C-alpha cells in the first residue's frame, strides 16, 4: 500500500523517542538518522531528503521544552510541518481557461499511464459537471489512438478521432492539424474541456520535446500535466525535470501509487520542478484517481490515517438511499434482520478491502492497534458470511427466530460450511440486533425530546 514501508520506518524512529523526557542533541540525532534512512529507502531524492532533515534538525534543537508534547510527538509535529513545506501546503487548484474550451496537455513517457490518466481525468471532470472531449495526437502509434478510444468508451467520454491516414500522417504537422481540429470540435460542440493525450517515447528525446513545445504553442493549454510512474522513483523525477525545463509543466499526476512503489517520487517532484502534484493514480480502474491533498498525504505518511478521504469514498460509493433507509429502520427499532446484515456487509465491501480501509485509519494515538487487528481480519470470512445468508430463505432472513436445528443444517450445507459457523453468525446477528434495538429506543426518545422543545 501507499507509503507503507516509509510509514512503518518513520513510526519506528518516532517510537524510539517515546521513552525520553526531553529532546536532546543525542536523541534528536538518533531519530534523524533513522528518518533519513527511511526517506532514502522510500526513494526520496537525496537533496530533498537532506534539506528536510536539516530543517527538522534546526527546529528540533530549538524546540521549546515547555510544551505539553512529549519528544516523540514534538518530532512528529516538526516532520509533519516540514513534509508540508516540501509538498506544498494547499491542494493545488485545477486551472480553467477564461474562454472555454480549457485545454489540458498530457505529457510523459510511454507506459507512465498517460492514456489511463486521460480517461481518469475525464471521469473526474464529468463527475464535476464538465463535458470533456478526448483526443490522442499520437500519430506514430495507431494502437495508442485505439487505446484512448477504448478508454473513452469505457468511461462514457466523448472522443475526437478526426480524419487521419496512418500511412502519411505520421509527422508533427499531422499532430498539430489533429490538435487544431479537435479544439474546433470541442468549441463547436460545447465541450468545455479538451484533454490531449500526446505521444510518449521510451526516453526523453529532442524530437518529442520539440513536438510538445509546438503543441503548447498551438493550443495554449491551461494545464500541462506531467504523468509520472511512481514505481520508477528517481527516473520519474528526472524526466519531470526534463519536461519542466522545456515546457514549464503546471502539475504532475503520479500514477501507480497503489503498487508496492516506495512513493518517494511524490516527495521530490514538487521540490525539484516547482510544479505541484495534482492527482494520484491508485489503480487501473477509471475511478482509481484522487486529487492530491498534501495534508492528507502527510497524515498517511505519518500513520495518522486519512479519514477525510475515507469519508469521501464512502459518500461516493455507498448507496445513500439504502443507508438512510437502514438508519431509519434501525433507529425506529424495526429490527435488524439478516437481510440488513447482508446489505451492510455488501456496503462495507464496496469501500475496498478491510485492510485498505484500516490503512486510512490512524495507526497512532487511540487507534493504535486497529490496523494490527485489521491485518488479522480474514477477508474470506466476509464471503462466507454472505454465502450463509444467501443460502437462507427470505422468510428466514426476515425472521431469524424460525431458524431451528434442521434449518441450520440445511443452511450450512447450502453454504458449504459447518453448522457451528451458522450458529456463530446467528448469535452475532442477534447481538447486533439487540444493540440496534437499544440505540433505536434511545433514538426514539431523543426524537421525542427534540420535538417537544
Ligand atoms: P501510456 O503509455 O503513458 O499511455 O500508459 P498507459 O495509460 O497505457 O498505462 C500503462 C500501464 O499502466 C497500463 O497497463 C495501465 O493499466 C497501468 N496503469 C496506469 N495507471 C495506473 C495506476 O495508477 N495504477 C496501476 N496499478 N496501474 C496503472
Are the beta carbons of 179 and 137 closer than 8 angstroms? yes
Q: Which atom of ligand 1 is nearest to the CA of 109?
A: 3
- Asked whether residue 288 falls in the same domain as residue 352, the answer is no
Query: Residue 153 is placed in which grid cell?
Result: 468508451
Average pLDDT for 165-179 = 90
Domain CATH for 40:
1.20.120.140
Supply the pLDDT for residue 169. Answer: 86
- Residue 289, helix vs strand vs coil: strand
Distance 113 CA to ligand 1 centre (A): 4
Judged against a pLDDT cut of 90, whether residue 243 lies above it is answered with yes
Q: Whose CA is nearest to atom 13 of ligand 1?
A: 113
Beta bridge mates, 104: 195, 223
In whole angstroms, what is the distance from residue 239 CA to residue 216 CA? 18
- Asked whether residue 160 falls in the same domain as residue 39, the answer is no
Distance 152 CA to ligand 1 centre (A): 15
Average pLDDT for 277-285 = 93
- Residue 337, helix vs strand vs coil: coil
Residues 6+ apart with CB under 8 A from 161: 145, 149
Q: Which positions make up the binding site for GTP?
A: 108-115, 197-201, 255-258
- Asked whether residue 126 falls in the same domain as residue 258, the answer is yes
- Asked whether residue 73 falls in the same domain as residue 110, the answer is no
- Average confidence score pLDDT of the chain: 85
In whole angstroms, what is the distance from residue 383 CA to residue 388 CA? 9
The answer as to whether 415 is a domain residue is yes
Confidence of residue 326 (pLDDT cuts 50, 70, 90): low
- Asked whether residue 58 falls in the same domain as residue 119, the answer is no
- Asked whether residue 293 falls in the same domain as residue 351, the answer is no
Average pLDDT for 256-276 = 84
The answer as to whether 266 is a domain residue is yes
Neighbours of 138 (CB within 10 A): 23
Judged against a pLDDT cut of 70, whether residue 368 lies above it is answered with no
Supply the pLDDT for residue 309. Answer: 73
The answer as to whether 208 is a domain residue is yes
Query: Residue 407 is placed in which grid cell?
Result: 434449518
The answer as to whether 63 is a domain residue is yes
- Asked whether residue 151 falls in the same domain as residue 253, the answer is yes
Distance 289 CA to ligand 1 centre (A): 12
Q: Give backbone dihedrals phi and psi of 104, rounded to 5 degrees, phi first.
A: -115, 120
The total number of residues shown for the chain amounts to 453
Judged against a pLDDT cut of 50, whether residue 301 lies above it is answered with yes
**Which of 87, 116, 151 is at the close of a domain?**
87
Q: What are the Cα distances from residue 82, in Å, to 89, 199, 308, 345?
A: 10, 37, 21, 40
Q: Which atom of ligand 1 is nearest to the CA of 255?
A: 23
Count of structural domains, the chain: 3
Indicate the burial class of 279 (C-beta count within 10 angstroms; 0-12, 13-18, 19 or more). Answer: buried
- Asked whether residue 347 falls in the same domain as residue 267, the answer is no
In whole angstroms, what is the distance from residue 429 CA to residue 339 CA? 10
Question: The sheet that has 193-197: what strands, in order across it?
Answer: 158-160, 132-136, 193-197, 102-107, 223-229, 251-255, 277-281, 289-291
User: Which H, E and C letters describe 26-61, residue by residue?
Assistant: HHHHHHHHHHHHHHHHCCCCHHHHHHHHHHHHHHHH
Are the beta carbons of 133 and 191 closer than 8 angstroms? yes
Residues 6+ apart with CB under 8 A from 142: 166
The closest alpha carbon to 317, from 276, 360, 348, belongs to: 348
Q: What are the Cα distances from residue 397, in Å, to 338, 342, 343, 388, 421?
A: 5, 9, 12, 10, 16
- Asked whether residue 296 falls in the same domain as residue 183, the answer is yes
- Asked whether residue 55 falls in the same domain as residue 120, the answer is no
- Asked whether residue 385 falls in the same domain as residue 359, the answer is yes
Decide which of 296 and 318 is more confident: 296
Q: Whose CA is nearest to atom 6 of ligand 1?
A: 113
- Asked whether residue 128 falls in the same domain as residue 78, the answer is no
Indicate the burial class of 117 (C-beta count within 10 angstroms; 0-12, 13-18, 19 or more). Answer: buried
CA 205 to chain centre: 32
**Which of 87, 119, 138 is at the close of a domain?**
87
The answer as to whether 175 is a domain residue is yes
The answer as to whether 94 is a domain residue is no
Task: Convert the pLDDT of each residue in 68-105 to its tens digit.
Answer: 678 888 888 899 889 999 898 889 999 999 999 999 99
The answer as to whether 412 is a domain residue is yes
Stretch among 47-51, 91-95, 311-315, 334-338 having the lowest mean pLDDT? 311-315
Long-range contacts of 234-240 (CB under 8 A, 24+ apart): 234/43, 234/45, 234/264, 234/265, 234/268, 236/112, 236/265, 236/269, 237/45, 237/265, 237/268, 237/269, 237/272, 239/108, 239/109, 239/204, 240/269, 240/272, 240/273, 240/275
ipTM above 0.95, yes or no: yes
Range of the domain at 290: 102-304
Residues of the chain with pLDDT > 70: what percent?
A: 83
Instruction: List residues near ligand 1 (CB under 6 A).
Output: 108, 110-116, 200, 255-256, 258-259, 281-284, 288
The closest alpha carbon to 252, from 131, 215, 241, belongs to: 241
Domain CATH for 156:
3.40.50.300
The answer as to whether 330 is a domain residue is no
Strand residues in 198-298 grouped as ranges (E): 223-229, 251-255, 277-281, 289-291
Domain CATH for 342:
1.10.260.30
Amino acid at each position: 500500500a501507499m507509503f507503507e514501508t516509509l510509514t512503518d520506518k518513520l513510526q519506528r524512529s518516532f517510537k524510539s523517542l517515546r521513552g525520553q523526557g526531553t529532546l536532546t542533541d543525542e536523541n534528536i540525532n538518533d531519530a534523524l538518522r533513522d528518518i533519513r534512512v527511511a526517506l532514502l529507502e522510500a526513494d526520496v531524492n537525496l537533496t530533498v531528503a537532506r534539506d528536510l532533515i536539516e530543517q527538522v534538525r534546526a527546529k528540533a534543537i530549538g524546540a521549546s521544552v515547555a510544551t505539553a508534547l512529549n519528544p516523540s510527538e514534538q518530532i512528529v509535529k516538526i516532520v509533519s510541518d516540514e513534509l508540508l513545506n516540501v509538498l506544498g501546503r494547499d491542494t493545488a487548484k485545477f486551472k480553467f481557461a477564461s474562454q472555454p474550451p480549457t485545454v489540458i496537455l498530457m505529457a510523459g513517457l510511454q507506459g507512465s499511464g498517460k492514456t489511463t490518466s486521460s480517461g481518469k481525468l475525464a471521469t473526474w471532470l464529468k463527475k464535476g459537471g464538465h463535458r470533456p472531449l478526448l483526443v490522442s495526437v499520437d500519430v506514430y502509434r495507431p494502437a495508442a489512438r485505439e487505446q484512448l478510444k477504448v478508454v473513452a468508451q469505457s468511461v462514457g467520454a466523448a472522443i475526437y478521432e478526426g480524419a487521419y491516414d496512418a500511412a502519411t500522417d505520421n509527422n508533427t504537422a499531422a499532430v498539430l492539424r489533429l490538435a487544431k481540429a479537435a479544439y474546433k470540435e470541442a468549441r463547436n460542440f460545447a465541450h468545455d474541456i479538451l484533454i490531449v493525450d500526446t505521444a510518449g517515447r521510451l526516453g526523453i528525446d529532442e524530437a518529442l520535446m520539440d513536438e510538445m513545445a509546438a503543441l503548447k504553442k498551438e493550443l495554449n493549454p491551461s494545464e500541462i500535466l506531467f504523468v509520472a510512474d511512481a514505481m520508477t522513483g528517481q527516473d520519474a523525477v528526472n524526466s519531470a525535470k526534463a519536461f519542466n525545463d522545456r515546457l514549464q509543466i503546471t502539475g504532475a499526476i503520479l500514477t501507480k501509487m497503489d503498487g508496492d512503489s516506495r512513493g518517494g517520487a511524490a516527495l521530490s517532484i514538487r521540490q525539484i520542478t516547482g510544479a505541484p502534484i495534482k492527482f494520484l493514480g491508485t489503480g487501473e480502474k477509471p475511478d482509481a484517481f484522487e486529487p492530491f491533498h498534501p495534508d492528507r498525504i502527510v497524515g498517511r505518511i505519518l500513520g495518522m490515517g486519512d479519514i477525510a478521504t475515507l469519508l469521501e469514498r464512502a459518500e461516493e460509493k455507498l448507496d445513500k438511499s439504502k443507508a438512510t433507509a437502514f438508519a431509519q429502520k434501525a433507529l425506529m427499532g424495526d429490527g435488524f434482520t439478516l437481510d440488513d446484515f447482508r446489505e451492510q456487509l455488501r456496503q462495507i465491501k464496496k469501500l475496498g478491502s478491510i485492510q485498505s480501509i484500516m490503512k486510512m485509519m490512524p495507526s497512532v494515538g487511540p487507534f493504535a492497534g486497529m490496523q494490527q487487528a485489521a491485518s488479522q481480519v480474514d477477508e474470506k470470512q466476509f464471503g462466507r458470511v454472505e454465502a450463509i445468508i444467501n443460502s437462507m430463505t427470505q422468510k428466514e432472513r426476515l425472521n431469524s427466530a424460525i431458524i431451528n436445528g434442521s434449518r441450520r443444517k440445511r443452511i450450512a450445507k447450502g453454504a458449504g460450511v459447518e453448522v457451528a459457523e451458522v450458529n456463530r453468525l446467528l448469535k452475532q446477528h442477534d447481538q447486533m440486533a439487540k444493540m440496534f434495538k437499544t440505540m433505536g429506543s434511545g433514538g426514539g426518545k431523543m426524537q421525542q425530546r427534540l420535538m417537544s422543545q
